[in-house]
Chain A
């Protein structure tokens, strides 16, 4: 009867039901109505409602522990919903038919993200994660052009392999720990846990696009529509990051050193690979894709710090700082990366090269300024949120005495400035080849400008970190 009572406390299901139901309703409306705008408005409104309701939900445990509402989970759910909301309107620019399907897919994907945020159970997490994956496979190839289909196929194949890795990893994990509930993990046999660790890193790392599981991402981000790339590189990545955060902070308490070695190697390779490859890249979207790989490298530094901290039995406050740094970075990341990908909507050319942003400052100073801010944020220049996020990330590395890793990461940031500035210099210093190479409608500029404003706001009010800090305690406190 407990289950029934839980079901009756509908307030906790409102976000899930609303988002899921709206997805179906959109499909139904699709029979009568054929205007993209309507779907975008409905999607946006539903997501907004879900976001608000999540903010106001009191912490609670529902469905016998399958869904856990606490500020940490709600924080990530909110970020993921925002990342979906962020592409809701700009997608109108890319998607030219079958809006009902696209937007219902967007809602289902978001539903998967929300469920993944609120659960600490590995099986539920896996199912939600797959929901996200399946939805995005379709979205990546939505237009059935050759490029999009290729992108989608690569994504799907690697995704399928990653699913296999996850399932195998989970079975090893269960064998070692005899539980799927991350809050109940104590310890387990060493070897199966190590195998589980490796398989799970590979499986979830696919989505996060960390080296060496990153190669699909370059092709897929490049080939799919701008707004889909934006979603894949923001929401799609952060959901994997959040799952990994739960898994590797809580799930392997006795294996700090292995987690540390594994992730430090991966992070260094990922950052270096992403940044160095981006240096000589000439296509703009591929450049952003490489930069997104590099950013994933910064993100997983969190795990190497956590592992090292656990290995050295550092105080829980240290781990909390690291987790909070990762949380803040994911918040900044969705705006700077999402905004950067969405700004590609402004370029009229297919497959834009870096040269194609030439003259943007003349035709639309606001767009050029906003994009510059986002790129500077990605490079980690002070007064932008990118700097705030990186600063706290690197500081938390230094706090657990990983000086050398922090130095490598900072060197990487310095290298990355080169290719970001190259784009900016093209925007401001070169003359355009055509007379009006850019779309400068409000629908193009607004999301980029909003992202830039938020990025700067986080950069100026860097104390937002101390607002996030207490949330991280909920992950560690169970």
Chain B
């Protein structure tokens, strides 16, 4: 069991060491951070075989009263932790190239190592409170890393925005935890030794939790936990922070805002899934509709973005929507949907990290020019990098026999089965959203790809772009291979996470074929417009709805201009004025006390006769008081 603790401790200890060593020799920090994560990965591998042989690594210590801390590694956690350590290692290796010239890279590596530790801790923690603390730690690291280039005003603003928006979700999560804790401690179903927030207890005794809290309260708790998940996984309507978060280094985007941290929300729902199931079908429907709507919604936004990283960011939001939606299809596969969701999560981590890092390689070559309209013709100039980008793109768009095809089609098929089992049209909505969402995926992905890869270079920088060294691209190649072949593990992955064999339901071939039709249509359409240079002649602002999309459905404006500037800022101002007057009152009281103190000090005249006088008077007064109180 000590070995399993090391998965967490290795990067956690590496963070300060990498920082300290990096202060001395900058190059060391990346090596130390990567090494620590490699250790974690190796131990995760050992743990995986342990879990396969039937062990659940579970160790719990009491922190105080009935709250514990510890590790809990079951099938789900080990799948997650393997993904996190592997992807993190790949990204760290690439970051040694990508951040290679940054003067503060020791800070960078210390923070990413700390982040990885936080993410691992979150995945393997045995208690929801512990989970929450790591959740906050990764949030903090995200804030620090988005604002890593703190001299860019955009970056600091984005870091703040990310922190504040996710904070809303964190607050909801905390409220949910408090209600859950209070309900469970007040009831008698939980022995103190078990611990009410113990994940193992919550998922094995969801029924008694339901009894203790009642349906309504449990529904509320799940809703609050979902609120936390929405904030972290940037689902509608708290998705607004991720696109801005792209101001950070691209490796940070790959690590935090694509592969790992944003999946923490999905993981939270998957982790305490029995609670969501026990909250009733309404809760599950909320998951399905919210996820599928986000998948479509974010996809439409991806089409009009020009910043290559923002396109990928909206794509991330959209793909996370698929994962959340998959968790809503409990009616189809039971708890097996966790497998569907987590498989999509893992595959997404591979190809999205790949996409981000190849974008990062392009951005290095282009001196951080992120506008896809200014690229073009890069396939000829950076063949390796753009080929990797191509592999990522076809996986993202679920071209048959890539991993993305297996993971996403299973979810879309499940949504059809969900419609069939539900019966009414309301249950069909997720399916519709996901299908159209898959079309959107094809459109934005290939729009981006064609603009980047084909045509003539549209800027001076693009003309002189060059591939980075082969060594730097090795981690990307590893991810690319996984993106292509990971599909063969689909069935075994589902079975592993599920704990028993999961039989996929078949759907009519006419339904099955729709995503493929969309794919072919989408590729042709985007090639026609963006592959040929036609787009330069079209006036897009005349296209209906373009302005709405360009303004991101006015949601940012709603949040910033209406809610923040008209609502919260005036309220904050009022509070501020109140606090000012309160403070000045305080200050006046303080000054009063101070001057009173200096009057008291006047007693201290230095003349000893006066001292005796003070004594005589004071003691006499005390005697009088005692007499008045009936002492004598």
Residues of A within 8 A of B (CB): 153-154, 157-158, 161, 191, 194, 198, 202, 211-213, 215-216, 218-219, 257-258, 261-262, 265-266, 269, 273, 275-281, 415, 418
- List which B168-194 residues lie within 8 A (CB) of chain A: none
Return chain A residues, CB-CB under 8 Å to B626.
194, 258, 261-262
Return chain A residues, CB-CB under 8 Å to B595.
280
Return chain B residues, CB-CB under 8 Å to A191.
632
Return chain A residues, CB-CB under 8 Å to B622.
198, 262, 265-266
Whether A277 contacts B615 by the Cβ 8 Å rule is no
Whether B618 contacts A216 by the Cβ 8 Å rule is no
> In the complex, what residue of chain A is closest to B602 when comparing beta carbons?
A277
- Judged by a CB distance under 8 angstroms, whether B631 is at the interface is yes
In the complex, which of the residues B597, B606, B612, B625 contacts A161, with contact meaning CB atoms closer than 8 Å?
Answer: B612
Whether B632 contacts A280 by the Cβ 8 Å rule is no
Given A154-B608, A157-B608, A212-B618, A279 and B625 touching (CB < 8 A)? no
Whether B600 contacts A219 by the Cβ 8 Å rule is no
Given A157-B608, A194-B631, A261-B626, A276 and B614 touching (CB < 8 A)? no
- B417 → chain A, closest Cβ, in Å? 58
Determine chain A's interface SS by DSSP, over half rule.
helix
Return chain A residues, CB-CB under 8 Å to B608.
153-154, 157-158, 216
Whether B604 contacts A279 by the Cβ 8 Å rule is no
Given A157-B608, A194-B632, A280 and B594 touching (CB < 8 A)? yes
Can you name 20 extra interface pairs (CB under 8 A) apart from A191-B632, A277-B600, A279-B594? A158-B612, A194-B631, A194-B632, A198-B622, A198-B623, A202-B615, A212-B617, A213-B615, A215-B604, A215-B610, A258-B631, A261-B626, A261-B629, A262-B626, A276-B593, A279-B593, A279-B597, A280-B595, A281-B601, A415-B593
Q: Give 29 pairs: A residue, B residue, CB < 8 Å, sorted on A.
A: A158-B608, A158-B611, A191-B632, A202-B615, A211-B618, A212-B615, A212-B617, A215-B611, A215-B614, A216-B608, A216-B611, A219-B604, A258-B626, A261-B625, A261-B626, A261-B629, A261-B631, A265-B622, A265-B625, A276-B597, A277-B597, A277-B601, A278-B597, A279-B594, A280-B595, A280-B601, A281-B601, A415-B593, A418-B590
Return chain A residues, CB-CB under 8 Å to B604.
215, 218-219, 277
- Judged by a CB distance under 8 angstroms, whether B619 is at the interface is yes
Count CB-based A-B contacts (< 8 Å): 70
Return chain B residues, CB-CB under 8 Å to A258.
626, 631
Return chain B residues, CB-CB under 8 Å to A281.
601
- Complex CA gap A418/B598 in Å reads 15
Whether A212 contacts B614 by the Cβ 8 Å rule is yes
- Judged by a CB distance under 8 angstroms, whether B511 is at the interface is no
Whether B593 contacts A202 by the Cβ 8 Å rule is no
- Complex CA gap A218/B608 in Å reads 12
A194, A211, A215: most-surrounded residue (chain B CB, <10 A): A215
- B526 → chain A, closest Cβ, in Å? 61
- A73 → chain B, closest Cβ, in Å? 30
- A149 → chain B, closest Cβ, in Å? 13
Whether B625 contacts A276 by the Cβ 8 Å rule is no
Return chain A residues, CB-CB under 8 Å to B631.
194, 257-258, 261
- B424 → chain A, closest Cβ, in Å? 59
- B23 → chain A, closest Cβ, in Å? 18
- A333 → chain B, closest Cβ, in Å? 23
Return chain A residues, CB-CB under 8 Å to B569.
none
- Judged by a CB distance under 8 angstroms, whether B470 is at the interface is no
- A221 → chain B, closest Cβ, in Å? 12
> In the complex, what residue of chain A is closest to B629 when comparing beta carbons?
A261
- Judged by a CB distance under 8 angstroms, whether B426 is at the interface is no
Return chain B residues, CB-CB under 8 Å to A202.
615, 619
Return chain B residues, CB-CB under 8 Å to A262.
622, 626
- Complex CA gap A42/B353 in Å reads 72
- Judged by a CB distance under 8 angstroms, whether B504 is at the interface is no
- Complex CA gap A216/B615 in Å reads 11
- Judged by a CB distance under 8 angstroms, whether B151 is at the interface is no
A198, A212, A279, A281: most-surrounded residue (chain B CB, <10 A): A212
- Complex CA gap A257/B615 in Å reads 22
Given A212-B618, A212-B619, A276 and B596 touching (CB < 8 A)? yes
- A214 → chain B, closest Cβ, in Å? 9
Whether B600 contacts A273 by the Cβ 8 Å rule is yes
